[in-house]
Amino acid sequence: MAQNVYEGMFILDSNRYSRDAAGVVSQIPSTVEQMGGQVLASRLWEERRLAYPIKGHRKGTYWLTYFKLDGNQVTSLERQFQLNESVVRSLFLKIDPRIADTMVQHALTGGPPSANKPKAEPETAAIAEIEPEIDAEAGEDIDKDAE
């Protein structure tokens, strides 16, 4: 069977990751390669508080990986990561071959969704400049009512 490109999103145990980042992360490509796959891109996505506790964890380190693997091996790979104590949760998606190269390139060079925050800063600064004007206008109205 032909190898497909997959995206793997892993939520790693933040405590284990902070103690031994290289050791925890190295388990992902080694497991993929044991199954006969090839890792195309692997990087840190972000660390964040989870929306709800998963297996008692309130924080997780998100790790993004793109890899090629035979379709028959995906269930075995999922099982291996379920047994891995460093991986809290994992999700695998088959990537459309037409966009696989673009997705891998973006993973190698791009940032997480929160990387767009610098664009929001000028808006925040503009709002901060407007608020004192509103407060000043409100204060003038109060003074007029007091007279």
Rounded mean pLDDT, 80-104: 95
Q: 3-state SS of the chain?
A: CCEEEEEEEEEEEHHHHHHCHHHHHHHHHHHHHHCCCEEEEEEEEEEEEEEEEECCEEEEEEEEEEEEEEHHHHHHHHHHHHHCCCEEEEEEEECCCCCHHHHHHHHHHCCCHHHHHHHHHHHHHHHHHHHHHHHHHHHHHHHHHHC
For the cut 90, the answer to whether the pLDDT of residue 38 exceeds it is yes
* pLDDT tens per residue, range 48-61: 999 999 999 999 99
Determine whether 47 is exposed, middle or buried from the number of CB atoms within 10 Å of its CB (0-12, 13-18, 19+): middle
* Cβ–Cβ < 8 Å for 14, 31: no
For the cut 60, the answer to whether the pLDDT of residue 109 exceeds it is yes
| The pLDDT of residue 110 | 73
For the cut 50, the answer to whether the pLDDT of residue 71 exceeds it is yes
Confidence of residue 105 (pLDDT cuts 50, 70, 90): very high
| The pLDDT of residue 2 | 75
- C-alpha 147/C-alpha 140 separation (Å) is 11
Model pTM above 0.75:
no
For the cut 50, the answer to whether the pLDDT of residue 101 exceeds it is yes
For the cut 90, the answer to whether the pLDDT of residue 136 exceeds it is no
Percentage of the chain modeled with pLDDT above 90: 70
- C-alpha 104/C-alpha 9 separation (Å) is 13
Q: 3-state SS of 18-36?
A: HHCHHHHHHHHHHHHHHCC
| The pLDDT of residue 48 | 94
Please give the mean pLDDT across all residues of the chain.
82
